[in-house]
Amino acid sequence: MDFELTDEQHLVRQTARAFSDNEIVERARENDRNEHFDTDLVRKIADQGYLGAIVPREYGGAGLDYLTYSLVVEEIGRGCSAMRTVISVQTSLVCSSLLRWGTEEQKHQWLPKLCSGEWLGCFGLTEPDTGSDAANQKTRARRTESGWVINGAKMWISLGNHAKLALIFAQTDPEKGHRGLACFLVDTDQPGFQPQPIHHKMGLRGSDTAAIGLDDVEVGADAMLGEAGDGFKVAMSALDSGRYSVAAGCVGICQGCVDASVRYSKEREQFGRPIASFQLVQAMIADMVVDTEASRMLVWRAGFLKDTGKPSTTETSMAKLYATEAAVRSANTAIQVHGGSGYVDDYPVERYFRDVRVTTLYEGTSQIQKLIIGRAVTGINALVPN
């Protein structure tokens, strides 16, 4: 693997950094304070081509490789995790699923609208009683003469209140277990699709999160992504892509913590000198720098494997596990460097701390990532009962 970025990758990175600094950072605090999902900012992100970054140009995307995509997500994540979430859901979960599992007709129907930001999409896998046990779906799909009728409920669905397209996972044959799962492309603008906003979140307050009720939601026979029984494979492949973008976004949080802490420690004086001159402050900053670089290298390695068509599930789990936990550590340490000033939102580290906590939970908890890694090295699947 060559660690030297190409001229194009440097340009993409610089452009994303400037966009984040000029458009995202200045809005992040107020959007967080007001629990405001900034659709105007989402449109600007779409205009940059970031909502379809890894989608080929023939379907309206930017045609970036995964490594270059990580550079974009890192810079957006440094600015605001709520906006990074929009990119992760739209690109890594929704668009990547359509790209891998959709028919040509489905790709041409949906991807251009998603890549342009005309439509937002959501990924309806998690349920009120179903998190890590993703195969245990309570939502049911019943076949009809014209297609399917879906009933159930979804929980913690990012973009669920604003999405025009929902990928809904449902059980078509409970006796088959995970082999009965299917993924449906659901137009949300119809009776029976009932999203409700989730408020009072610890972090990501500038993002849109929904609980969704599905009451006799009808879809046509051509609305299935893949075949009946492919739903679990669709979900796992999407999460593999989603974990990559979460990890890249957490590299951005790590870098943001470093930048903010270096800046503050040079400005803040105690005992007649900047606190940056104190050995223990430098030690804290050094810890954050090492975590940032280690996380970035794990993300780049996973991206390299994806771009070269090699297996990358284990390496993506490693990147997601390490980068999310490193970002939690970095945010906590950054607050320590800032002292009392880090406890209020005058500085970004307070928001970093609240926003990053969920990254060790969604798209597979840290414990699930460890089981995926453990399965790869031992050959034993600890998730399957003996």
C-beta of residue 261 within 8 angstroms of C-beta of residue 284: yes
List Cβ<8 Å contacts ≥24 apart for 198-203: 198/156, 199/35, 201/35, 202/354, 202/357, 202/358, 203/81, 203/351, 203/353, 203/354, 203/355, 203/356, 203/357, 203/358
List Cβ neighbours of 195 (8 Å cut-off, separation of 6 or more).
157, 160, 161, 163, 188, 210, 211, 212, 213
Token pair of 290 as six digits: 């090492």
C-beta of residue 117 within 8 angstroms of C-beta of residue 45: yes
The 10 Å Cβ neighbour count of residue 200 is: 6
**d(C-alpha 226, C-alpha 169), whole Å:** 12
Catalytic residue among 23, 127, 325, 363: 363
**d(C-alpha 345, C-alpha 337), whole Å:** 15
- Judge residue 279's burial from the number of C-beta atoms within 10 Å of its C-beta, 0-12 exposed, 13-18 middle, 19 or more buried: exposed
C-beta of residue 114 within 8 angstroms of C-beta of residue 95: yes
Q: Which residues pair with 209 in a beta bridge?
A: 158
Cα distances (angstroms) measured from residue 146 to each of 57, 149, 222: 33, 9, 10
Respond yes or no: is residue 363 known to be catalytic. Answer: yes
Token pair of 165 as six digits: 């397209």
Residue 342 amino acid letter = G
Active site residues: 363
